Amino acid sequence: GAGVSQSPSNKVTEKGKDVELRCDPISGHTALYWYRQRLGQGLEFLIYFQGNSAPDKSGLPSDRFSAERTGESVSTLTIQRTQQEDSAVYLCASSRGQGNRFSSGNTIYFGEGSWLTVV
Amino acid sequence: QKEVEQNSGPLSVPEGAIASLNCTYSDRVSQSFFWYRQYSGKSPELIMSIYSNGDKEDGRFTAQLNKASQYVSLLIRDSQPSDSATYLCAGPGFQKLVFGTGTRLLVSP
């Protein structure tokens, strides 16, 4: 696709329910990132994929959070037993090459985000 | 020490002035830096990237990288109210891009 696509764009869920957030990266981009941004706060790194593997899961805040990527394309971020503090926008981004070699070809581009509200 | 640091602001400038946004980083081997702009309620969008010491100009924007002093800055000339946003500096961390917390810029008419 032309850009990073995320769905749903908005999700309101009840505390304790599970949610799945989907990301379609830019075609041909092998690196994929998930960030979280709470209202008025900075970007919080969650997880990074290179291909289908996740070399860096260090940002996942708890074991309620998990993510997978298949076919070196679509990624799903799953939050189990949601809590009110999970309310945030979840941003997916992708880049062309190796995540640790940032150059002009490896610029990361963001999707519009999935806004999650836990009530 | 955080990998990328920015003053949260807000930085207030009048329309037509030069806005100067600064960022410092801790990793001496970092080679490339990026400036993203984020409007309220929107996702970050790339506005400038810089990979070598010195200045890089693109329209009203100039990015400056000083590797010896480990800082990178963004200058916005002839600031417009539409430039009011949060500006995020990003540099390479281990296998990921690390973002600063952003500087909020307010340009008053």
Q: What is the pLDDT of residues B5-18, one digit of tens each?
A: 898 889 999 999 99
What percentage of residues in chain B have a pLDDT greater than 90? 61
* Burial class of residue A112 in the structure, from the number of CB atoms within 10 Å of its CB (0-12 exposed, 13-18 middle, 19+ buried): middle
For A57-95, strand residue ranges (E) read 65-69, 75-79, 88-95
Residue B79 banded pLDDT, cuts 50, 70, 90: very high
Nearest to B97 among A55, A102, A111 (CB): A102
Q: Reply yes or no on whether the pLDDT at B76 is more than 70.
A: yes
As a whole number of angstroms, the distance between CA B49 and CA B89 comes to: 10
pLDDT, residue A96, reads 84
pLDDT higher than 60, residue A17: yes
**How large a percentage of chain B has pLDDT more than 70?**
94
CA distance B100 to chain A (A): 7
At residue A55, the pLDDT reads 78
**Which residue in A45, A48, A110 is closest to B44 by CB distance?**
A110
Q: How far is A61 from chain B (nearest CA, A)?
A: 17
Tell whether the model's pLDDT for residue B38 goes beyond 70: yes
- Cβ contact (<8 Å) for B88 and A48? no
Among candidates A46, A99, A92, A49, which has minimal Cα distance to A72?
Answer: A49
Calculate the average pLDDT of chain B. 90
Res. B74: pLDDT tops 90: yes
pLDDT of residue B95: 67
A86 token code pair = 């999970």
Cα pseudo-dihedral B15, B39, A106, B66, rounded to 10: 40
User: B3-26 burial, b for 16+ CB within 10 Å, e for fewer?
Assistant: bbbbeeeebebeeeeebebbbbbe
- Per-residue confidence at A2, pLDDT binned at 50, 70, 90? confident
pLDDT (tens digit per residue) in A81-111: 999 999 999 999 998 865 555 555 568 899 9
pLDDT band at residue B27 under the 50/70/90 scheme: confident
Search chain A and give the residue with CA nearest B87.
A42
Q: What is the per-residue pLDDT across A18-70, written as a single tens digit (0 to 9) for each?
A: 999 999 999 989 889 999 999 888 899 999 898 898 877 889 999 999 999 99
Measured between beta carbons, which residues in chain A are less than 8 angstroms from residue B102? 42
At residue B33, φ and ψ (nearest 5 deg) are: -140, 155
Q: Which of A10-19, A92-101, B48-57 has the lowest mean pLDDT?
A: A92-101
What is the rounded CA–CA span in Å between residue B40 and residue B50? 25
Contact B36, B44 (CB under 8 A): yes
Q: Region A76-81: what's the mean pLDDT?
A: 98
Closest of A7, A32, A37 to residue A21, by C-alpha: A7
Q: How confident is the model at residue B31 (pLDDT cuts 50, 70, 90)?
A: confident
